[in-house]
Amino acid sequence: MESSRPSKTKQKKEMEELQNIGKALVDLPKDLLKKLDLPDSLRDEVLGAKKISQNGAKRRQLQFIGKIMRTIEVEPIRAQLEQLKQPSAQKVKLLHAAESWREKMISNENGCKEFIRLYPKADSNILEELISDCRGTMNSRSKISYRKLFKFISTLLQKNEK
C-alpha cells in the first residue's frame, strides 16, 4: 500500500525551506530586493513582512510567503540569492590587484612610478604622500594611510575597469 504523495515530514521540510528562502528575501535591503526578478505578489508580501515588528505576526507572514512560494518556480529565486551571497570573481580580482599594488609601492621605490605610468589619471602627489606615510614604523597615522592607499588604488582600478 504505497502512496504517491510525499510523506508529511518531507512536506514540512520543503515548507521550511521555502520559508527560509522567504526569510532571506525579507532580510535583504529594499534596494537589492527591488533588483531581484520576483513575482509582484511575492514582492508585495516580502515588503509587507519588512514592516512587521511583532514576532508572532512576522512568523505568520513568513508562513504565508512560504505558501505563496509553493505556487511559483523557486529555483530562479534561489539562484539569485546565491549570486548575491558570493562576491563576483571580478571584484575579488580587483581587490587582490589593489592589495598587490599597495605592497609593491610600499616596498619598492619604483612601484609608484610604474603605477602612475600604467594609470596616468592617478594623482601622483596624493599617492606619494600616502606611500611615505605607510613606510617606517607602524603607528596610528600609518595605519590610516595604509587603508587610504588601498582605497585610493582600488578606486582607480575600478574606474579603469569600466
* pTM for the model: 0.54
| Rounded to 5°, angle at Cα 86 from 85 and 91 | 130
Note whether 14 and 53 are same-domain residues.
yes
Tens-digit pLDDT profile for residues 57-106: 999 999 999 899 989 999 999 888 888 877 677 788 888 999 999 999 88
Boundary of a domain, candidates 56, 85, 114: 85
Which domain CATH number covers 20? Answer: 1.10.60.30
Closest to 145 measured CA to CA, from 159, 126, 158, 119: 126
Cβ atoms of 8 and 16 closer than 8 Å: no
Note whether 12 and 56 are same-domain residues.
yes
State how far the Cα of 28 lies from the Cα of 36, in Å rounded to an integer.
10
- Tell me the one-letter amino acid at 151: K
What is the pLDDT, as a whole number, of residue 3? Answer: 63
pLDDT of residue 1 exceeding 50: no
Provide the phi-psi class of 136: left if phi over 0, else alpha when psi is between -120 and 50, else beta. left
Tens-digit pLDDT profile for residues 96-142: 999 999 999 888 888 888 988 888 888 888 888 888 888 877 777 77
